Amino acid sequence: MKVLVISAAYPPMHAGEATNTYHLCQQLVGREIEVHVLTSVGNVGNDDARIRVHPLMQNWDWYELIRVRSFLKGCAPDAVFLMYIGLMYKFHPMVTFLPTLCKRLFPHVPFVTRYESAFVGADPSKTVFASRVFRKLMVLWAGRNDVAYSSGTLLRDSDSVIALCERHRAMLIDEWPPVSKKVTLIPPPPNLFVASNSAGIARERGRRRLGLNHNEFVVTFFGYLYPIKGIETLLRAFALLSAQRPEARLLFIGGKVGLDVEGGASYFDEMQDLAKELNVNRQTTWTGAFKSEEEEASLYLHASDVCVLPFLEGVQLNNSSFASMVAHGLPIIVTRGPMMDKAFVHGENVLTCEPKDPQEVSNLLLEVMNRTDLRERLRVGALKFADEWFSWDAAMKKTLAVLRPSVSSDTA
């Protein structure tokens, strides 16, 4: 079977969407599937020769529609898998008509769209006048019925749509109710190599690399840093904590995001300045970017004692950084959002709090530090969470079921 994965984000780009795509491709080739990746210029991939990377796309605009069509015809895939969030494609609507294009070329080839986020689609209003005119022509070509402004024909003409959490699924159904019959919930499993911690060896190695002694308690944030991650809250909470518990240390695993996120370019530096302003810079370590296929990030997670994800919109099943944390069996403090997945249970597998509340985060951190029974309960709950929701085997069975619907998913 030959699968074409389309994604503007791919290594060495530093973005969660890039590592998500890479690890998905690794899982596919591990199941003896021929994988081709159509991606942006410069995204040449890692050293996995099994994945055939084609970094051909410049701007993902109407001018490159002919290039995509030509590539599709030459590749002749058995299934097409589109990784989609408007941000990856500079909010241009061209990609939102690819299911229709593919169906015109290959009527019986499954086209699957995975929404990395249901919040951020295309924005045709931000394109030039000629582009908006061309989009109207594309609507006529694709058929006017059920063409959405921000998602084109992605919902109508994709054979299957993958949502990563319940909130995203609800948003997609709200945008086009008939999609409820073909939307599948598949939360993203860990997008990094998870090192074995047999006999605590990985933890010791990680702590040695970080220069930590056995008495120091490590509070960790894992993931790329940009404004919606709420890093200000964590820094202020840690300042409150360290005033009471000087043995506390703060660790940031990750760096600047490679996508053009609003405010993202300067955010990392601003947070480092804030750490100095709060006088916690000496207790804080910033690792910067890491390679997800190597062990470094996993060793640092094993070296941690508690993780915090202070996201402004709350944590959900779509957050692959959370999946990586629970895979390491870590106690985790998360913020609540407007529609939190029911799998998150306060006091059992996570501790929850409201966004933008440094005092509450500090109080929860202090409770975790003081109670070994709570840490153990959360550790067990995290591992159970990982097994039930973030298993690669389970995710790939569901993924292959939509990529080759005529074949039993038991072969996954």
What does pTM read for this prediction?
0.90
Q: Which residues of the chain have pLDDT under 50?
A: 408-412
Please give the CATH number for the structural domain made up of 2-189+392-411: 3.40.50.2000
* pLDDT recorded at residue 411: 43
- Is the backbone of residue 258 left (phi > 0), alpha (psi -120 to 50) or beta? alpha
* Domain locations in the chain as residue ranges: 2-189+392-411, 198-389
d(CA 304, CA 286) in angstroms, rounded, equals 14
119-141, pLDDT tens digit by residue?
A: 878 999 999 999 999 999 999 99
- Cα-Cα-Cα-Cα torsion 282, 194, 8, 411, nearest 10 degrees, comes to -170
* pLDDT recorded at residue 406: 60
Q: Is the fold of 2-189+392-411 the same as that of 198-389?
A: yes
Query: CB–CB of 26/32 below 8 Å?
Result: no
CATH for the 198-389 domain, from 3.30.70.600, 3.30.700.30, 3.40.50.2000, 3.30.70.980:
3.40.50.2000
